[in-house]
Homo-oligomer: A and B are copies of this chain.
Amino acid sequence: MSAPVYLDYAASWPVDPRVAEAMTRALLEPDLQANPSAGHPGGQRAALAIEQARGSIAAMVGADPGRLLITSGATESDNLAVLGVARGQRDRGRHVITSRGEHRAVIDACRQLEKEGFEVTWLKPERAGCVEPWQVLEALREDTLLVSVMHANNETGALCDLAPIGAACQARGTLLHVDAAQSAGKLPLDAGALGVDLLAFTAHKLGGPKGIGALACSERALAALQPLQFGGGQERGLRSGTSATHQVLGFGLAATLAVEAMQAESDRVSGLRERLWSRLQSVGGVWRNSPAEGCLPGTLNLGFEGVEGESLMLAIRSGVWASSGSACASASAEPSYVLRAMGLSDLACQASLRLSLGRWTEADEVDRAAVLIAGAVERLRERAPPGVRSRIR
């Protein structure tokens, strides 16, 4: 039996073997074992290696390495941006704008802000989980401290048109935070040019290790932030804690490799995604939740008439690893606001599947996965009462 086809890249990428190798070296190299804050040559060498990696990470997203904070992942980066700006600037305003289509890291941080006395405007994502620029423009107020929107939606892959939002925020002096966890390293991204003040992303969605991320900041943003955690003063005092040398080096190499391969991979992977889509259409009664244009190369969120998602997941799992379309890989499963906001019924949300492709997806895997999924869909439909299919779509 061949290995299962991994179509869950949107949840996490397998670590690039070149990254794993570099990390292994960093874990074994005596010169890199010291605390990077230590004054002796061991500490200095580790600190230097970290600074080089920081440069690669920053270059990937058009950020200034001097203002790129290393965190434990996009969850922390999102929280640092949202909670950090609001708490740090609470004397200047109490209004925050975000959308219901965001990742829970942003949503739950904003809910926490509401408990702390902030007012949050919750935009309804108009475009497969992403907001349209006019929605933000309409919601901006005198006292808006922060706008937080995602670049690419994690459920559908839909992309947000950031430039007009960035321009509007800059014109008004409102800080703009963008969660780019899904898009960083996959699409060209220039935080500076887009007018993004805070850009959150994570290594494990682009071939790097889990447990390390970054928040790239503009000068204004850097001055505005209150830290989430205090201590030794690392990361310009905004994110204390001993730097994890091997993790940062792994992130740095993953960033370099991502940039090198970006154009070719984007073409290759979106080609595979379309191949998967056309193969799956043979089963009939399948719809596409992901937009055909303006979408991440690797994400394909689909719905199957008359099918229940959990059973579909189980029916395919010996051959295909994917996520149910209605919930991102999170420790708790909630119905998807993103899909519902697209007009899908609760049941149609449950009929959805997120297939996500990446660096090591091959054409024959796509074909194999399509056969398995189509077979499972047919089997489940045969087992369902005849009335179901017309109701659950």
| CB-based contact A76/B6 at 8 Å | no
Asked if residues B38 and A321 are in contact (CB atoms below 8 Å), the reply is yes
Query: In this assembly, does A368 line the interface, its C-beta being within 8 Å of a C-beta of chain B?
Result: no
Complex interface: chain B residues within 8 A of A52 (CB): none
Would A75 and B229 count as touching, CB distance under 8 A?
yes
CB 8 Å contact bits of A5-46 with B (1 = contact, 0 = none): 010100111110101100110011010011101111111000
B40-A231 in contact (CB<8A)? no
Complex CA distance for A28 and B17, rounded to whole angstroms: 7
A233 B331 Cβ-Cβ under 8 A = yes
A54 within 8 A of B: no
A79 at the interface (CB under 8 A from B): yes
**In whole angstroms, how far apart are the Cα atoms of A139 and B37 in the complex?**
34
The complex places the Cα of A14 from the Cα of B109 at a distance, in Å, of 36
Please tell me if A212 contacts chain B, counting CB pairs below 8 Å.
yes
B73 pairs with A242, CB closer than 8 A? yes
Q: Does A317 contact B (CB under 8 A)?
A: yes
**Contact status A35-B241, CB under 8 Å:** no
Known: A109-B230, A230-B108. A15 touches B28 (CB 8 A): yes
Chain B: minimal CB distance from A77 (Å): 9
Contacts of A28 in B (CB 8 A): 15, 17, 20
Q: How far is the CB of A160 from chain B (nearest CB, A)?
A: 19
Find A229's partner among B41, B79, B103, B332 (CB 8 Å cutoff).
Answer: B79
Closest residue of chain B to A42 (Cβ to Cβ) is B321
CB distance from A337 to the nearest CB of B (A): 15
Most buried by B among A17, A35, A209: A35
Measured between beta carbons, the chain B residues less than 8 angstroms from A13 are 33
Inter-subunit contact A35/B12 (CB<8 Å): yes
Segment with Cβ contacts to B, from A243-251, A256-264, A268-276: A243-251
The answer to whether A105 touches B242, judged by C-beta atoms less than 8 angstroms apart, is no
Contact with B along A86-126 (1 / 0, CB 8 A): 00000000000000000111001101100000000000000
Contact of A105 among B12, B75, B109, B240 (CB under 8 A): B240
Q: Which of A188-196, A294-302, A322-330, A370-378 contacts B (4 or more CB under 8 A)?
A: A322-330
Which residues of chain B are within 8 angstroms of A38 by Cβ–Cβ distance? 8, 11-12, 321, 323, 329
Answer yes or no: A211 CB below 8 A from chain B CBs.
Answer: yes
**How far apart are the CA atoms of A17 and B39 in the complex, in Å?**
24
Instruction: State whether the Cβ of A67 lies closer than 8 Å to any Cβ in chain B.
Output: no
Q: Does A202 contact B (CB under 8 A)?
A: yes
The reply to whether A211 and B210 contact each other, CB–CB distance below 8 Å, is no
Beyond A79-B230, A230-B79, whether A15 also contacts B34 by CB under 8 A is no
**Is residue A232 within 8 Å, beta carbon to beta carbon, of the partner chain?**
yes
Q: A273 to chain B: closest CB distance in Å?
A: 19
State the CA gap A245–B28 with chains docked (Å). Answer: 19
Once the chains are docked, how many angstroms separate the CA of A75 from the CA of B332? 27
- Indicate if A204 sits at the interface (CB-CB under 8 A): yes
CB contacts (< 8 Å) of A211 on chain B: these are 72, 211-212, 241-244, 247
A284 at the interface (CB under 8 A from B): no
CB contacts (< 8 Å) of A317 on chain B: these are: 40-41
A residues apposed to B, CB below 8 Å: 3-4, 6, 8, 11-15, 17, 19-20, 23-24, 27-28, 30, 33-35, 37-43, 72-73, 75-76, 78-80, 83, 103-105, 108-109, 111-112, 202, 204, 209-212, 228-234, 237, 240-247, 313, 317-318, 321-324, 328-332
Q: What are 12 A-B residue pairs whose CB atoms fall within 8 Å in the complex?
A: A8-B40, A11-B37, A12-B242, A17-B28, A37-B329, A39-B313, A72-B211, A73-B242, A111-B230, A210-B246, A233-B332, A247-B247
